[in-house]
Structure 1
Amino acid sequence: MNGTATPRNGTATHENGPAAPVIVVGSGPTGLLLAGDLATAGVPVTVLEKRPHHISNLSRAFILHARTLEQLDARALADELEAVGRPLDHLRLFTHLAVDLAALPSRFNHILVIPQYEVEKVLERRAVEAGVEFRHETEVTGIAQDADGVSVEVRGPGGAAETLRAAYVVGADGMRSIVRQAVGLPFPGRSVIRSVVLADVRLAEPPETLLTVNAVGDAFAFLAPFGDGYHRVIGWRRGHDIPEDAPLGLDEIKEITRLALGTDYGMHDARWMSRFHSDERQAPAYRVGRVFLAGDAAHVHTPAGGQGMNTGLQDAANLSWKLAAVAQGHADPALLDTYQAERHPVGKSVLRSSGGLIRLAMANRPWTRAARAALTTCLNTVAPAGQALAAQVAGIGYRYPAPRGAHRLAGTRVPDVALQGGRLYEALRGGRFVLITPEIYEGDGARKDRLAVERWASDRRTTVLVRPDGYVAWAADEADARTIENALAAHVGAPGLAAHVG
């Protein structure tokens, strides 16, 4: 994101004076992406994390979907992760359901199998290089906000209490979010499956497929490689409802895996084993005044479809540019309301889709198994249905609400289209809006830190203004210089002036 550089622990400046600081609570993938975006844009950011500093290899997430990879591409990180992970252009569920990803309209027409800790490594490095201040072993104990900002009470490594001040706070602190509790938001929902077992194991006979997943009868199992000789196994057996603090042995994991997959692949040398339960929950609001929620603090889903980490990263990509624009005085604070309007419906949709998949996987009654068989047949034989499922799981099938009377493209995701200067997601790497025109548009140059102007590589005649997160802010089939200038003033703003919303 092209903006004024921020020195570590310093104050960014811009045309309207110092940028308003932001505190991000939580240093998982969502918090790291958000903090890195803000700091790169020139906004002072402090990340608070109650854990000691380390990148844990005990992560549950293993998949990056196409839309997330596109967002990482806009930050020049996707190719690095692609070199580490392993692409897979299809998924097989319930033995017979095949989800084809090769036809996705994306540069990343696959899923990338890669442990969460690899994603965290590159996001943390980017955040550090951008000047984010990290405060580990620092626990949030209270939050109070007023018209001018937010006071965050913390307890540091030595137990000393301190009050920090910021213009905005983002809670990316997980399912048990202290930030969410501090602003009084409920987290309605329920536990869907209990006594799920996890382990990192070596296999004497690795599976033939990269991801191995199946449900048979009363058992479910999933296997994915770390890339270091270990595999993560996730398993569940109906009726085997054991407290999470009960001892867990490798024999139990082997038995569940054999029931679901027909073999335990010679599991041995477990380096870690644990139990957990899977919830479906969503906060009714992602914003309370100057406080926002993102990732698991805002929504949690079943692991089906591997959408949890991906949805959180896309939350961060949606919120970061809006917070940066408002914090630097380039946009009306009302812009921040669109975070709730755009991301809450997506979170609800992911709850439905991941919940539907897990319920189909766990089907044990004749009519639910019949429903699963019918759905499988439909998705495998009716191409549009299968493509719609693939697009939704990959995250590229969503569009955001657009104002009444807006162009048909408004709110839609823009694929990585060819431009005369390269491709769109390279142009987005500046963290700016990108105006794509059929003819040369000079503009006044006043917005160069917030706007890149490109021309179509094709003979397309539509003029499109692409937001920093890759969605269409405005478009017109025919646009003269005045029309374009009015659109830029409304969406991008100008020095000393805040952009309007809508």
Structure 2
Amino acid sequence: MDVGKGVVVVGAGPTGLLLAGDLAAAGVAVTLVEKRAHGISNLSRALVVHARTLEQFDARGIADELEAVGEPLGELRLFDRLTLDLSQLRSRFRHVLVLPQYEVEKVLERRAVKAGVRFAYETELVGLTQDAHGVRLDVRGPDGATQTLTAAYAVGADGLRSGVREAVGLPFPGRSVIRSLVLADVRLTERPPALLTVDTAGDAFAFIAPFADGYHRVIGWDRSRNVPDSEPLDLDEVRGIVRQALGRDFGMHDARWMSRFHSDERQAPAYRVGRVFLAGDAAHVHSPAGGQGMNTGLQDAANLSWKLVAAVEGRAPQGLLDTYEAERHPVGKAVLRSSGGLVRFAMAKRPWTRAARGLFAAVVSRVGPVRTRAVGRITGVGISYPAPRGAHRLVGRRVPDVTLAAGRLHELLRAGEFVLIAPRDVAFETGRAVPAHWSSARRTTLLVRPDGHVAWAAEEADAGAVEVALGEWGVRGDG
């Protein structure tokens, strides 16, 4: 199982599956190590896929498959009267898709298998060393024997208790912000009033979302009941929390699974140590408010994968791999702040915090720019990356799925390469980049990264400027 100069990804959750699939689709040798037995668990907690994640799936040709099994919701209710209308999103996906994490994992696993990812289930990381040339990972397989994998790079996508993060000596500072959250998959006699039902009352919070098989996922919290995760949980306790928060329990019965857990806010101080990277919950964890957890991890993977491909192929510009941490660490920090703030507002108890919550809801609801920013932040479509001083104003921004002369941008991005969009009457040498032209009379030339953000832009660009830009990003010639 020596992958030589390829990549080892540890952790076969959504982040690891997307990353490994991207790498393998680009021709990079990938081994995906997972300590669990093979199988998609229905116990995962994520329940929504946001617009920006759907755009990334669309750029890989799998969005429509997920849309077919999920439930689109045109608004996102956070608390009280604060509901975010998603119909004005400048995206093909003007909704949040209610879809359990395990459905996302099914599609991502099929894609990874088809692309040629090598899976090593029931295999646990027990040691990791690296030098200037590569990474050595000692893993223990299902038979108890230990072997060593070697790779050019390694990525830890192995969750809250990341063995990769521990092996490279990175701390995970933060704290538990909500204790004794309860989860249950149940059947309901009464239909909830909305596709996503969420509210608070007194010390209680409850959230209900449907699964396609007739079950509903219930998440509840009673602030007054602070018990360890190991404390037994029964359906009566879940019913009681839901009745307190929502007024009734909708006749819940036939629980097939129940669990108690806690929610942390933590972030690693770095996402890269030499040739080892962290992504997803291994790099950051936060409250479930706004449904941003799985989505943030998938965006990590989309940002990192094409950069690793360029590095493995020997055409990465100087410092390209450093941009992963520079771009994604601030995003993770912002999600910690926003999701934590939503939880604190939702569970506000004191009169002054309730007043602050009401003021916040009023401002977001009535002030257009504030509302647009809030929607963009939660859905991911408003996230931009830092641009060098003096760069064009579009550099670092996400490019919507614009219709071009020969198809949609996301369809062109499925090649996994940069896309060079030029005016209709101009033809440039594009190197590895996919050539494209505006369907309108626009004169801007855009070099779009594989993750859909602008790498370089210019008005009325000439061939020399384009050549320089392609060279700076390692996409000139055959590389």
Paired letter, 2:445: T
Q: Is 1:163 the counterpart of 2:145 in the alignment?
A: no
Deviates more, 1:295-304 or 1:435-444: 435-444
> Partner residue of 2:458?
476
In 1, Cα distance between the equivalents of 2:368 and 2:154? 44
Tell me if structure 2 keeps the 8 A contact 1:150–1:169. yes
In 2, Cα distance between the equivalents of 1:258 and 1:57? 25
Give CA-to-partner distance per residue, 1:44-101, whole Å, 9 cap, x none: 0000000000000111001000100000000001011011100001122323111111
Give 1:360-399 correspondences, 5 Å limit. 360-399=345-384
> Partner residue of 1:98?
83
The structure-2 alpha-carbon separation of the partners of 1:230 and 1:303, relative to structure 1 and needing over 3 Å to count, comes to same
Deviation at 1:205, TM superposition (A): 0.4
Give 1:285-304 correspondences, 5 Å limit. 285-304=270-289
> Partner residue of 1:87?
72
Give CA-to-partner distance per residue, 1:253-307, whole Å, 9 cap, x none: 0000000000100010000000000000000000000000000000001000000
Paired letter, 1:338: T
In 1, Cα distance between the equivalents of 2:158 and 2:258? 23
Give 1:117-132 correspondences, 5 Å limit. 117-132=102-117
What RMSD in Å do the two structures reach over aligned CA positions? 1.3
> Partner residue of 2:247?
262
The structure-2 alpha-carbon separation of the partners of 1:462 and 1:406, relative to structure 1 and needing over 3 Å to count, comes to same
> Partner residue of 2:48?
63
Q: Is 1:321 the counterpart of 2:306 in the alignment?
A: yes
In 2, Cα distance between the equivalents of 1:444 and 1:379? 46
> Partner residue of 2:400?
415
Q: Is 1:178 the counterpart of 2:160 in the alignment?
A: no
Tell me if structure 2 keeps the 8 A contact 1:441–1:453. no
SS of equivalent to 2:187: strand
Give CA-to-partner distance per residue, 1:413-440, whole Å, 9 cap, x none: 0001110001111110111100000045
Give 1:427-466 correspondences, 5 Å limit. 427-444=412-429, 447=431, 450-466=432-448
Tell me if structure 1 keeps the 8 A contact 2:401–2:409. yes
In 1, Cα distance between the equivalents of 2:303 and 2:78? 30
Paired letter, 2:372: Q
Tell me if structure 2 keeps the 8 A contact 1:59–1:117. yes
Tell me if structure 2 keeps the 8 A contact 1:326–1:333. no
Paired letter, 2:396: G
In 2, Cα distance between the equivalents of 1:10 and 1:453? 37
In 2, Cα distance between the equivalents of 1:10 and 1:144? 15
Tell me if structure 2 keeps the 8 A contact 1:10–1:44. no
Deviation at 1:383, TM superposition (A): 2.1
Give CA-to-partner distance per residue, 1:149-173, whole Å, 9 cap, x none: 0010111101101111111000000
The runs of 4+ residues in structure 1 deviating greater than 3 Å are 439-445, 492-497
Deviation at 1:104, TM superposition (A): 0.9
Paired letter, 2:476: A
SS of equivalent to 1:334: coil
Give 1:330-341 correspondences, 5 Å limit. 330-332=315-317, 334-341=319-326
Give CA-to-partner distance per residue, 1:128-163, whole Å, 9 cap, x none: 000000000000001100111001011110110111
Q: Which of 201, 215, 238 does residue 216 from structure 1 map onto? A: 201
Q: Is 1:27 the counterpart of 2:9 in the alignment?
A: no
The structure-2 alpha-carbon separation of the partners of 1:82 and 1:10, relative to structure 1 and needing over 3 Å to count, comes to farther
SS of equivalent to 1:103: coil
Deviates more, 1:280-289 or 1:389-398: 389-398
In 2, Cα distance between the equivalents of 1:391 and 1:483? 32
The structure-2 alpha-carbon separation of the partners of 1:444 and 1:100, relative to structure 1 and needing over 3 Å to count, comes to closer
> Partner residue of 2:472?
490
Paired letter, 2:13: G
Q: Is 1:151 the counterpart of 2:133 in the alignment?
A: no
| Count of matched residue pairs | 479
Deviation at 1:333, TM superposition (A): 5.3
> Partner residue of 1:16?
none
Give CA-to-partner distance per residue, 1:233-267, whole Å, 9 cap, x none: 00001120111111100000000000000010001
Deviation at 1:495, TM superposition (A): 4.8
SS of equivalent to 2:219: strand
Paired letter, 2:71: R
Tell me if structure 2 keeps the 8 A contact 1:140–1:153. yes
Q: Which of 280, 294, 300 does residue 265 from structure 2 map onto? A: 280
Q: Which of 92, 96, 101 does residue 116 from structure 1 map onto? A: 101
Paired letter, 1:369: R
Identical aligned pairs, as a percentage?
Answer: 67
Deviation at 1:493, TM superposition (A): 3.3
Deviates more, 1:377-386 or 1:272-281: 377-386
In 2, Cα distance between the equivalents of 1:52 and 1:333? 39
Deviation at 1:380, TM superposition (A): 1.6
Query: Structure 2: any 5+ residue segments left out of the alignment?
Result: none
Tell me if structure 1 keeps the 8 A contact 2:467–2:476. no
Q: Which of 58, 63, 66 does residue 73 from structure 1 map onto? A: 58
TM-score, normalised with respect to structure 1 = 0.94
Q: Which of 224, 246, 250 does residue 235 from structure 2 map onto? A: 250
